[in-house]
Amino acid sequence: MENERIILASSSPRRRELLEAVGCDFEVMVSRADETVPEGTPPEEAVVLLARRKCAAAAALAPERVVLAADTLVAIDGVALGKPSSPEDAAAMLRRLSGREHSVYTGVAVRRGERETYSREETRVRFRRLTEREIERYVASGEPMDKAGAYGIQLRGALLVEGICGDYPNVVGLPLVLSARLLAEFGVTLL
């Protein structure tokens, strides 16, 4: 049986690239889900909540289709670092991450109609100590501005990272092994 085409409920170009790289047949449907999170929600719970909302919103428009949604947050000291709101915000995030280890959490949800499964992935990332000049140059590149935690590990941001423990694609924005496991529950195989 040939796999059906799934819906990716995400505007992230990185998620699209990851799914394309493993040969997944999909189309994009950007979800208009509410992305507010109750105050005090731990980052590892927030990503699951947001992934499930995005998935449900897209599935409501195409209930017969398999929908995949995800949400990624960078967290340090229990505080989520979303996408920076300004170059100054990006620089402040990078200073906070400099020389330290942080977590990257991604919540993944898969749904068809009312049936849903979901989980989350955590990857530990260790930054090397950054100089002010390096932070300024990286922010000036524009790369940090649309990325959680103000860096992209798959681009110039790789120069900031000393090491990772866990799933590399998770840091990019979509844990592929977890996503494949969840999709398999709906009969969609990626390998």
Report the catalytic residues: 71
Q: Are strands 79-81 and 67-76 parallel, antiparallel or unpaired?
A: antiparallel
Cα separation values, 185 from 12, 51, 142, 159, 182, Å: 24, 17, 39, 37, 5
Amino acid at site 191: L
Question: CA-to-CA distance for 36 and 152, rounded, in angstroms?
Answer: 23
Q: Enumerate helices (H) and strands (E) in the chain, giving the number of each.
A: 6, 7
